[in-house]
Amino acid sequence: MPIDPAPVPSPGPAPGEGTAGLAELLRRASRGDEAAFADLYDRTSTKVYGLARRVVRDPAQAEEVAQETYLAVWRQAARYDSAQGGPLAWILTIAHRRAVDRVRSAESARERDLRFAALGDGSDYDMVAETVTTSLEAARVRRALASLTEVQREAVLLAYYGGYTYKEVSELLDVPLGTIKTRMRDGLIRLRDALGVER
Amino acid sequence: MNDENADIHTLSGAYALDALEPGERAAFERHLEACEQCRDEVRSFGDALSVVVDESAQEPPERLRDSVLAGITAVRPLPPVTHDSPDDVVVALRPVRRRAVTAALAVAAAVLGVALAGTAWRTVTLQDEVSRLSAAAADVTTVLTAPDARIATATATTGGRGTMVMSPSSGQVALVTDGLAPVPAGKTYQVWFVGRGSVVPAGFVDGGTAGTVLTGHPDDAVAIGVTVEPRGGSPAPTSDPFLTIAIPAA
């Protein structure tokens, strides 16, 4: 009765393009397998870096966020718990939090106001929507975002890409805190359902 | 009581978006341990957002891959820990037994090695890095080996890089620099704690590779900055910082 079977390097096709493959790579990385980690990097780096760019804007800082993210992923790979979400979500959560922390601590109030002006009125969303027509995945995301009400989308994107806390969003939009909380949660529920993410 | 509970459930969206303030985040994480419904919601939101990121995907510069892969070689993955938060994004330097100094310096070396990789990665052995750093960073060891040490790095506008190591338990902050330009004649590199509306002197740092423990650590500090000042230092900065490192949130 094998208790903890070692992973057998399979000569066949890679074990799926999806999350099962990433979970296996994380498992191997947690045991110090640098080649598996390189593979993991190759399969996730456009998202980690892209998300960092989206939040911190500055390319050099986005690189630093990505760098810190992967060092954290390498160190904490053994602590990934599939019960709490997919491996990609875990990695992106680390990246997002680092990006947001950076934006919040480094930025003056004035810069934040300017950033808000640049982000406001959903123009960021429109810009994104324009630039994504090529990829099927992106089109799917675009449709899912479009299923949110405008105020839900605004609250979700200001927090996720703008790095604002819900209290800041509430102040910026002059909408009560409870309303913002609800818009964020309801928006994510719609988004999740539109994307067909398993509950 | 019911209202309070109902209220905290609605924070699941803001939590998944990292839109809570630190205190609320911690409170909600405690709530998550007890509330399966919120756990499921947060999990599904995280998975949904990981799909949303597809629209932002962007090819990083090739050098990032090199520096990431070079950076991990000297860092040992942590063993699994039950009930540890998977969202703990802080790179904690674990206390290590007899070889505490070497291990802590190894982490610093990895970070600095990573910085080197950005421009021209050369293979240096860990021992080389450790000897190179140990002279400069001897005083910094206490901070590096603190069980709750956290690190953050940033690139200087004039070249080189700074790594900040802070230990909340001891209230100490150390700055390790690598590859900074030599200090101009008659000048000094002065370090500052930057708070919300206040800037206070935090010490001095040399050019090249150096490490120093900063003096003082105001509670409201959100970043440290390094400026060029006349020799002897200034009571307040007289130039813009060429290196700024944000203090990672708890």
Closest partner residue to A41 (CB to CB) among B18, B68, B244 is B68
Tell me which DSSP letter residue A6 carries: P
The DSSP bridge partners found for residue B60 are none
Please give the Cα distance from B49 to B201 (Å, whole number).
42
A99 & A149 share domain: no
A56 falls within a domain: yes
Given an 8 Å threshold on Cβ–Cβ distance, is B114 in contact with A67?
A: yes
Beta-carbon count within 10 A of A65 CB = 28
A21 & A116 share domain: yes
**Phi, psi dihedral angles at B154 (to 5 degrees):** -155, 155
Touching check for A146 and chain B: CB below 8 Å? no
What is the identity of the amino acid at A19? T
Touching check for A87 and chain B: CB below 8 Å? no
From the CA of A10, how many Å to the nearest CA of chain B? 24
Given an 8 Å threshold on Cβ–Cβ distance, is A70 in contact with B84?
A: no
From the CA of B182, how many Å to the nearest CA of chain A? 23
Please give the Cα distance from B130 to B127 (Å, whole number).
5
Touching check for A186 and chain B: CB below 8 Å? yes
CB A184 within 8 A of CB A148: no
A199 falls within a domain: no
Q: Which residues of B117-156 are buried (b: 16+ CB within 10 A; e: fewer)?
A: bbeeeeeeeeeebbebbbebbeebbbbbbbeebbbbbbbb
Locate all alpha helices (DSSP H) within chain A, ordered by sequence.
Answer: 19-30, 34-56, 59-76, 87-106, 109-119, 123-131, 136-146, 150-160, 166-173, 177-195
Closest residue of chain B to A28, computed from CA coordinates: B77
A30 & A118 share domain: yes
CB A46 within 8 A of CB B59: yes
From the CA of A12, how many Å to the nearest CA of chain B? 26
User: Total structural domains in chain A?
Assistant: 2
A111 & A144 share domain: no
User: For the domain that residue A55 is a member of, what is the CATH number?
Assistant: 1.10.1740.10
ipTM entry: 0.81
- Mean pLDDT (chain B) is 73
A28 & A98 share domain: yes
Alpha-carbon Rg for chain B in angstroms? 21
Task: Tell me how far apart the 2 most distant CA atoms of chain B are, in Å.
Answer: 67
A160 & A108 share domain: no
Range of the domain at A100: 17-122
A138 & A162 share domain: yes
From the CA of A135, how many Å to the nearest CA of chain B? 8
Please give the Cα distance from B235 to B230 (Å, whole number).
11
pLDDT at B162 over 50: yes
Given an 8 Å threshold on Cβ–Cβ distance, is A85 in contact with B40?
A: no
All residues of chain B having their beta carbon less than 8 Å from the beta carbon of residue A197 are: 44, 47-48, 51
Residue B145 is predicted with a pLDDT of 63
A69 falls within a domain: yes
All residues of chain A having their beta carbon less than 8 Å from the beta carbon of residue B21 are: 165, 167
From the CA of B144, how many Å to the nearest CA of chain A? 16
pLDDT of chain A, 199 residues: tens digit per residue: 444 444 444 333 343 345 559 999 999 999 999 999 999 999 999 999 999 999 998 899 999 999 999 999 998 999 898 888 899 999 999 999 999 988 887 654 445 555 555 544 444 444 444 443 345 677 788 889 999 999 999 999 999 999 999 999 999 999 999 999 999 999 999 999 999 887 7
Closest residue of chain A to B69, computed from CA coordinates: A38
Touching check for A112 and chain B: CB below 8 Å? no
What is the identity of the amino acid at B232? G
A7 falls within a domain: no
- Mean pLDDT (chain A) is 80
pLDDT in tens, A59-87: 999 999 999 999 999 989 998 988 888 99
pLDDT at B139 over 70: no
A117 & A135 share domain: no
Given an 8 Å threshold on Cβ–Cβ distance, is B75 in contact with A75?
A: yes
A9 falls within a domain: no
A23 & A111 share domain: yes
Please give the Cα distance from A71 to B89 (Å, whole number).
10
pLDDT at B114 over 50: no
> For every residue of chain B, which 3-state class applies, written as one string?
CHHHHHHHHCCHHHHHCCCCCHHHHHHHHHHHHHCHHHHHHHHHHHHHHHHHHHHHCCCCCHHHHHHHHHHHCCCCCCCCCCCCCCCCCCCCCCCCCCCHHHHHHHHHHHHHHHHHHHHHCCCCCHHHHHHHHHHHHHHHHHHHCCCCCEEEEEECCCCCEEEEEEECCCCEEEEEEEEECCCCCCEEEEEEEEECCCEEEEEEECCEEEEEECCCCCCCEEEEEEEEEECCCCCCCCCCCCEEEECCCC
All residues of chain B having their beta carbon less than 8 Å from the beta carbon of residue A33 are: none
Q: What confidence category does residue B47 fall into, taking pLDDT thresholds of 50, 70 and 90?
A: very high
Given an 8 Å threshold on Cβ–Cβ distance, is A79 in contact with B86?
A: yes
User: Tokens 């509970």, residue?
Assistant: B5
Residue A6 is predicted with a pLDDT of 43
pLDDT at B101 over 90: no
Q: What proportion of chain B, given as a percentage, has pLDDT over 90? A: 18
State the best of B20, B54, B75, B157 to mutate against chain A, taking most chain A CBs within 10 Å. Answer: B54
Touching check for A7 and chain B: CB below 8 Å? no
The mean pLDDT value for B209-223 works out to: 76
From the CA of B186, how many Å to the nearest CA of chain A? 30
All residues of chain B having their beta carbon less than 8 Å from the beta carbon of residue A84 are: 39, 42-43, 46, 86
Beta-carbon count within 10 A of B65 CB = 17
Residue A110 is predicted with a pLDDT of 47
A8 falls within a domain: no
From A75, A96, A122, the end of a domain falls on A122
For residue B102, CA distances in Å to A108, B107, B145, B165, B212 come to 38, 9, 10, 16, 17
A86 & A162 share domain: no
A29 & A108 share domain: yes
